Amino acid sequence: MMKCLVVVQMSKTYVLNWIDALAKTYDQNKDSIGKTKDGILIPVSHIAVNIPLQINLDADGNFKGADVIEDRDDRRTIIPATEKSAVRTTGITPMPLDDTLAYIAKDCYPNLIKNDKDAERYPKYIKLLKSFTDYVNENCSDTVKKQVNAIYKYISNNNLLSDLLLKAHLFGNELTSVSEIPNKWKGKNKPEIYEAIGSSGDLSKTYVRFNVRGLGLDITNSFEDKALYKAWEDYYMSIIKDHTGIDYTDWSNPNVVLASTFPKGILRSKPKAKLISANDKTTFTYRGRAIEPEDIATIGYLKLQKATHALSWLLNKQGLFVGGRYYLAWGLGSKQASNLLADNSLTQQLVQEYSAWLNQEEKKEPYTDKELATAYRKSLMSGKNNFHGLRLEDNVFIMEIDTATQARADITSYQSMELGQYLSKIDKWYKKISLPRLNRQTGELVDTNYTLRTIADMVNGTKANDDLKKNTISKMMDTILGSQRVSESILMSLYNKSIRPLGFNKNDIGAKYHGWKPTLRVASKLFKTKYAGTYSWGRITKMLNDNINDRSYLYGRLLAVADVLEGDTIRKKQIDRPTNAQRYMSAFAQRPADTWKTIYMNAQPYFLKSKGYRSGQILIDHIFDKLNLNDENIKHLNAPLDGKFLIGYSQQKAAWFKEIAEKKQAKEKQSEKVEEGED
């Protein structure tokens, strides 16, 4: 069955592959089975389908009407299924209770469907229902017996299509005979049932659910009875119990009931997609290595059911979907290791958010570390650090699933680590790329982070296809949780765009997010990961480091001074054009010494009119002194610059405006003191 499974060694003393982790998550959240909040955690041996038609019966199996379900949320229904019926496409494999009209209406053939092969649907359905009914009568509670027997009695003795036409009047007054009912409605005055199934749907393929009333249940709908779920699970396990073997995800038990196929329906956007399959006997999916797919790998039925249902639930509950790829983070939440350690930076809000799960046993609420998933999305997707030193002795699982085709889904990445290690990675990342700038409106230093989606837009262009963007997002996520050194391909793409400010349209509606300034900031931040650490020329820190004598860094500082001096003057004169520093930035990055002469001479008239001219000229002279223009260095003075050029440029501008703001604040304080003295 499928491809070999990768087992990930945890830093603790146990091993969890992704199937194990998901199955354990399912077991820890059994109280959530059947609940619709945040998606449905489906019971074992069941699937969830959208059902637009409900048949109402009494406990004696009498027809009590039919309802067209208009609310799309109410249509999502859990129904029992076999392994084959859960993944059926063209074959004839019935569900045991709720199914399509082609299976449960014995007058569907030949009235609604004409193919002779379709005549087998109802007999196979009623045979399976009869077998299940016999099991229920011997092994189950009275309420389950009444429900299953009511459905069996009605389906055995009545024609459903006829009742829908003559008793429920679902087809209006135009039709008088079952033979007149069309699979698809053409023309005006479309009956409600056809509106519900949509113009592309066939009536014969419409799912129908039964609701047996008068059972004394404390729930409105009998098809939501958990006892019925359990009855089908027990029955189905009894008929597949002899298909046993080794579960390749757990070698401890060599005699496990095995799955014969991998479930689909994990992804709502592509319901036919499977994660594992080996149904191709004609090509070399497994031929050449094995005679049968089971010779490659086998998985226990129960574990696989739990894992796939848990994955589908988690994706709906706390997953993120970007360009055909799903991103998911969740935790197992071990109760015995629930230490919450906080430092001075941990806010009261975070304490409140994480304290909820500490008491979850009393509340019986599902625990999948949804708070962690929210923080994960914000940190990796929204560029926000919401952890602030949080440390929990727990485990976090991170998965990416790609949906390249309608029938295939692939786990492109899976990681498992201790939560403390995960949070440490996130915290380290944000410290490493920290590059504050001055908010000139508030006078405060801010450290803006950008979403990975925005970074992907910057790297590939906003009009690039989704495949390029999602691959960039995945690369960045792997970087953050791995080496934390951004790939050269991403860095150089951002570098080449950052040194070409005239290539951006400042009036573009997305300039605030993808324009030159944000792109430059992102490039500078990410280049810090390449040059992190201490070198002979100095250490790149959060703010400007005057001890760095690296040529690229110093040239970046020079260009920043020229930019702010000229920019100050042209803003005062309300001149709408880029500065010479911006105009020649690309050439400066390639030939800094030659280009500096052009920039300096062209901008000199504007320098002289700037309030900061004197300070700026002193700083320019200071930076030139640090370039140390001796006989050795002067040979390389005009060589192309590297990424430290952008960091030096960004930090020098931030330092310049910070110094101006501090001087302004000092003057204001001095004025206040003088006024107080006069009073």
Q: Is the distance from CB of 110 to CB of 201 less than 8 angstroms?
A: no
- For 173-215, how does the pLDDT look when each residue is reduced to its tens digit (9 = 90+)? 888 899 999 999 988 889 999 999 988 789 999 999 999 999 8
- For 169-180, how does the pLDDT look when each residue is reduced to its tens digit (9 = 90+)? 999 888 889 999
The model's confidence at residue 674, banded by pLDDT at 50, 70 and 90, is: low
Q: What is the mean pLDDT of residues 72-81?
A: 94
Helix axes of 142-157 and 121-139: crossing angle, nearest 10 degrees: 150
pLDDT at 545 over 90: yes
| Partners of 262 in the β-ladder | none
Nearest-angstrom CA–CA distance, 394 and 556? 44
Tokens of 561: 């001074």
The model's confidence at residue 332, banded by pLDDT at 50, 70 and 90, is: confident
Q: Is the distance from CB of 470 to CB of 324 less than 8 angstroms?
A: yes
DSSP assignments along 409-432, one per residue: -EEEEEEEEEHHHHHHHHHHHHHH
Q: What are the residue ranges of helices labelled H in 545-643?
A: 551-572, 580-583, 585-590, 592-608, 613-626
Nearest-angstrom CA–CA distance, 518 and 434? 14
* pLDDT score at 272: 86
Residue 6 DSSP one-character state: P
* pLDDT score at 275: 87
* pLDDT score at 288: 53
Nearest-angstrom CA–CA distance, 486 and 531? 11
- For 219-241, how does the pLDDT look when each residue is reduced to its tens digit (9 = 90+)? 889 999 999 999 999 999 999 99
Strands (E), 334-483: 340-341, 391-392, 395-402, 410-418, 437-439, 444-446
Return the percentage of the chain with pLDDT > 70, whole number. Answer: 83
Whose tokens are 């002899």? That residue is 242
* pLDDT score at 647: 96
Spans of all domains in the chain: 1-32+241-422, 37-238, 433-530, 536-679
- Give the strand pairing for 53-58 and 207-213: parallel
Higher pLDDT, residue 91 or 392: 91
DSSP SS3 for 27: helix
- For 61-75, how does the pLDDT look when each residue is reduced to its tens digit (9 = 90+)? 999 999 999 998 899
Q: Across all residues in the chain, what is the average pLDDT?
A: 84
Q: What is the mean pLDDT of residues 81-89?
A: 94
Q: Is the distance from CB of 552 to CB of 594 less than 8 angstroms?
A: no
Q: What is the mean pLDDT of residues 471-480?
A: 89
pTM of the entire structure?
0.78
